[in-house]
Each structure stands twice: as C-alpha cells, then as structure tokens.
Amino acid sequence: MPEVEPQTERVDSLAPASTATSELSNNQSQVNSPSSSAPVLTQDKAAIAEPNEKAIAPRQGTLRVGNLTEHPVRVALLIKKAGKAAAADLDDQSSYEPPAHWDFEPGEGSINGLIVSLPNRSIKLKKGDILVAFAQDGSRRYWGPYVVGETSTPNWSPKVAEWELTLEP
C-alpha cells in the first residue's frame, strides 16, 4: 500500500467561538427530507485550497543502498518502462527495461549507503520499479521483493530526492 505523507497547516491563532459559530451558520444548509434530519455543511469554492503540485507529483529519484549484513549481497533492479509500454500487462517482461544489478560486500555502504549508477544510463526510481537483494555466500538469505512506492521499503527521502534501501540482518 502506498505511503501517504499527511499535509499539515500551522494555525497561529483560532477565531473566537462566537465568530466561528456565525461563520458556520452562514455556510450551513439543511436538507429537509424525511430520511435525513442532520444538517449538511457546504463550503465556498473559494475556501477550497488548490492542490499542492509538489505533494502530488510522483516521487522519482536516485537509489542509495547500504548493506548492514554479514553477507555479500547482490541488489537487482527492474525499472518499469515509461509511457504506453508501462500500461501493458504487469506480468509482461517487455514492460520493464533490461535488469541491472550491483554487488555489495558485508557492511559496504554502512548506514549512510552508496548511490548506485550505471555506465550507459541514468537511474531514476519511480513507483512500480522492483528491487530484490540476495546473499551470494550460499546462505539462501534474500530481501524483498520491494515495489518502489508500494511497499514500506525502500524509503523515500524528500530532502535529497532519493530512495534508500538499507539491508539489515
């Protein structure tokens, strides 16, 4: 399930109760029907705030990986193709770009992680991309699969526009 960051607004002072009550009565309309006796509140369209484009924009960014385990691991990535190809059946392999992978020694990247890249293309993770990590020492350990923007991992860091994957024991 996608994570939703709550939007908050700071209120420095509240209106006195008498003012709030008079405003409420100005914006209130009742529905007089046998099935409903409760008042229905309506709101001026001018009072509705415009959506914050940054808040609803898709989260796209680089990938930072840290391996806190005692295992050498391989992190594999499937990037979903953009446009009409992405709208195809999700099980269709043609809706993803060629896979990429990186190998990490035990403890490599530590808690801060390392930004991963590819020699022939840039990486911008977005919702729907798939990450999985597995140990390469025969221990049969694995992490994931993680679906970017849909599972709790990787974590989005809005300050630096990065997806962070920290592998823990």
Kindly give the confidence (pLDDT) of every residue in the chain, 169 residues in length, as a single tens digit, with 9 standing for 90 and above: 555 555 544 444 444 444 444 444 444 444 444 454 555 545 554 545 554 445 545 789 999 999 999 999 999 999 998 865 445 455 556 789 999 999 999 999 999 999 999 998 889 999 999 999 999 999 999 999 999 999 999 999 999 999 999 999 9
CA 152, 157, 159 angle in degrees (round to 5)? Answer: 160
pLDDT of 70 reads 97
Q: What is the predicted pLDDT for the residue at 3?
A: 55
Amino acid at 129: D
pLDDT of residue 15: 46
Do residues 66 and 167 lie in contact, with contact meaning Cβ atoms separated by under 8 Å? yes
Q: Give the pTM.
A: 0.62
Q: Where are the domains of the chain?
A: 17-47, 62-167
- Quote the pLDDT of residue 40: 54
